[in-house]
Chains A and B, each alone.
Chain A
Amino acid sequence: MKKVMKYVLADILRNRIVLLYTALLLVVSCSVFGLEDNADKGMLSLLNLTLIIVPMMCIIFTTIYQYNSAEFIELLVSQPLRRRHIWLSLFAGLAAALSIAFLVGVGLPVILFQPSLTGLTMVLCGVALSVIFVAIALLASARTRDKARGIGKAILLWLFWSLLWDALVLFFLFQLSDYPLEKPMVLVSFLNPIDLARILILLRMDVSALMGYSGAVFREFFGTGTGILVSALALMAWVAVPLWLSTRAFRKKDL
């Protein structure tokens, strides 16, 4: 399995798009810290980059890569290799490549310009989101034969998690505003990986604003060791569940 992963990783790292993505992240991060006299505002721009651009890039790149390397995958499948291993290698290669791109593009500038707990949280959450959206993209592409439909699905999934879900949550918050919703909201935040990552970063970044009652509920939960452990597990589940489902789909998939 290591061998397959090695070749997948080598293939992706040779791909110009990943290099461009890394360069883009690096340029944005450096200019954000260079232009803003206020490091906090720089972090805010990076937060948007991490929560919006990174998932989009990961889900779309993974989907396109997946379809473009259909023949390569066929070649691998015709070899004496386990399908599960091929699939997990693809995942590992993509996740590693995109995480490395994020670490170089955002992690490095953050460590140089803003070596704080907030910065560390953001880098970790960005890596987690990269891996999660690779897994989600693999699920979408394993389930869809057609390339155009697959890419369409990927874009819709990204739009759903980054925009529509929050709109729905806000809508229901107002519909149900007569009820105490603070605790259910903790649960709801686990259902969207972007929200979960965002809240973990917010708890460092906007800590004063989150000291209000509803914020306190979140802080009481996410601020404790148990809360951090549970959030980390939830993020892992966001990798594991799509990956498991996609592996199942791929094992039965006709190529």
Chain B
Amino acid sequence: MNPANSHKPEPTRLQGNSISPNFYPSTMIEAKNLNKRFGKLQALRNLSFRFSKGECIALIGPNGCGKTTLIKTILGMVVPDSGHILFDGKDIQGQFAYRAQIGYMPQTGRYPEAATIAQVIKMMKDLRGKDARLDESLIHSFQLETLGNKRTGTLSGGTRQKLSAALAFLFSPDVLILDEPTAGLDPVSSEVLKQKILEEKEKGRLILITSHILSELDELVTEVVFMQEGELRFHAPMAQLQEQTGELRLSKVIARIMQQQTSQPPVAR
């Protein structure tokens, strides 16, 4: 954010300073200069951003660009080497209670293998405590009750995704972090999930979705964050991107931007 720091690549701002701090009246998650290194790999490189309530943010980028690391950092599963994350204005370092406001759907959810679906759901409810606001709509719409006696170890990838999704939405969290949510889901379930995400967005939740293919989620997305090699390459509202590139579909938008960048690299390079 500091213009004087010119040797560090800046996130590409596609239109001046239209995204000013004042633009975010209800910042939910704020990152300041995150750095994380795994051995030789720089997974996060001086990452800064603000995410607000009511947004649906697509976190995109090629494999190994640091998306999952970023998500895990927000969840406190990865501890950054430097930098801070503020959740609802408070630094999350060493904290745990803030996670009550997050629903997390992992890329591949795995649960104690010998436990049944019903036992896992019961366990999660138990772990969250009594005062959580329960939202069991996904459990119903995915018809997980009928599979209640199935052991999680024997589940197919799709059923497992359904369980993960149901658990992520179960506690009506303010923030939803969905890592590749539609991968492995059949079209019907995928649509159910999409509707659910839309519903939650309307309620003013912050929704963070990672994916490399977002085509079926295009209509949900309000903002796009594009990462590459641990860097935040750009962060802009979807509408603005569509307008600038003249494309409607997100994949096309991204492709167009990539082309522009290769022909006209950022100033810092």
Contact = CB atoms under 8 A, between A and B. Distances in A.
Interface of A: 3-4, 7, 10-11, 14-15, 69, 71-72, 74-83, 252, 254-255
A229 B64 CA distance: 54
12 contacts: A3-B126, A10-B115, A71-B106, A71-B109, A71-B110, A74-B77, A75-B110, A77-B76, A77-B77, A78-B102, A78-B106, A254-B78
Contacts of B109: 71, 75
A215 to B, nearest CB: 49
Interface of B: 36, 38, 72, 75-79, 96-100, 102, 104, 106, 108-112, 114-115, 123-124, 126-128
A72 B112 contact: yes
A7 B96 contact: no
A11 B126 contact: no
Contacts, number: 65
Nearest to B38: A254
Contact of B115 (A14, A76, A80, A83): A14
B57 to A, nearest CB: 18
A78 B77 contact: yes
A68 to B, nearest CB: 8
Given A7-B112, A69-B112, A72-B111, A78 B104 contact: yes
Given A77-B77, A79-B124, A81-B99, 14 more contacts: A4-B127, A7-B127, A11-B115, A14-B115, A15-B114, A71-B108, A72-B110, A78-B75, A78-B99, A78-B106, A79-B99, A80-B98, A252-B79, A254-B36
B123 A7 contact: yes
Nearest to A81: B96
A132 B124 CA distance: 30
Given A72-B112, A77-B75, A82-B96, A3 B106 contact: no
Contact of A75 (B36, B106, B126): B106
Contact of A79 (B36, B115, B128): B128
A82 to B, nearest CB: 5
B110 A80 contact: no
A79 B125 CA distance: 11
A231 B235 CA distance: 62
Contacts of A83: 96
Nearest to B102: A78
